[in-house]
């Protein structure tokens, strides 16, 4: 975690909690190492924090590989689109919008380079960061249906929350 530690050193004492959480949250006991890093990397891509993304990728590339990085980028981009679209449909509350086809390509979501569960974990992080209720519920249902627990979902959201805090602290 050499690069993450360098980033942590840039976080002020006023945000010491974030600095400490940034190292602790990546040591998950529920998610495997690859999943933790992928969720963190996807979150940083989704939040468009290049400095943090570069640091996470430098520390995680040997763990997640090129396929993992590709899935992180794809999850962040697709969820960037989906959270706007589905949050709008949810917030407008009109059945007429729910009857329309989205007609948005999401092929990578159905055929990730790593596996569907890890891609869903990454998508859940983005859904939580965007505050998209419809997306959060859909991805939680998929993860629970894949045999993961609410504790796994909770861990994903914790990682995403700390990455968000780190982005704010570094700004």
Predicted TM-score of the model (pTM): 0.94
In the residue annotation, 72 being an active-site residue is answered as no
- Name which CATH class applies to 2-170: mainly alpha
Q: What is the pLDDT of residues 92-141, one digit of tens each?
A: 888 998 888 888 888 888 899 999 999 999 999 999 999 999 999 999 99
Task: Give me the phi and psi of 139, to 5 degrees please.
Answer: -75, -35
Whether 49 is a known active-site residue: answer no
Cα dist from 169 to 7, 12, 131, whole Å: 10, 7, 20
Q: Where are the domains of the chain?
A: 2-170
Using only C-alpha atoms, the chain has a radius of gyration, in whole angstroms, of 16
């Amino acid at each position: 975690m050499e690069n993450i530690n360098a980033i942590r050193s840039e976080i002020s004492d006023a945000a010491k909690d974030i600095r400490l959480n940034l190292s602790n949250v990546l040591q998950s006991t529920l998610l495997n190492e690859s999943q933790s890093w992928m969720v963190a990397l996807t979150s940083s891509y989704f939040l468009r924090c290049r400095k943090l993304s570069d640091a996470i990728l430098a520390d995680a590339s040997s763990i997640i590989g090129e396929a993992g990085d590709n899935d992180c980028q794809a999850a962040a981009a697709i969820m960037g689109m989906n959270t706007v679209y589905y949050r709008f449909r949810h917030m407008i509350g009109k059945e007429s919008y729910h009857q329309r086809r989205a007609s948005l390509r999401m092929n990578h979501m159905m055929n990730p380079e790593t596996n569907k569960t890890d891609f869903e974990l990454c998508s859940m992080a983005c859904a939580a960061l965007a505050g998209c209720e419809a997306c959060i519920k859909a991805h939680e249902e998929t993860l629970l249906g894949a045999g993961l627990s609410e504790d796994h979902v909770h861990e994903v959201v914790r990682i995403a929350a700390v990455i968000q805090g780190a982005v704010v602290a570094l700004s």
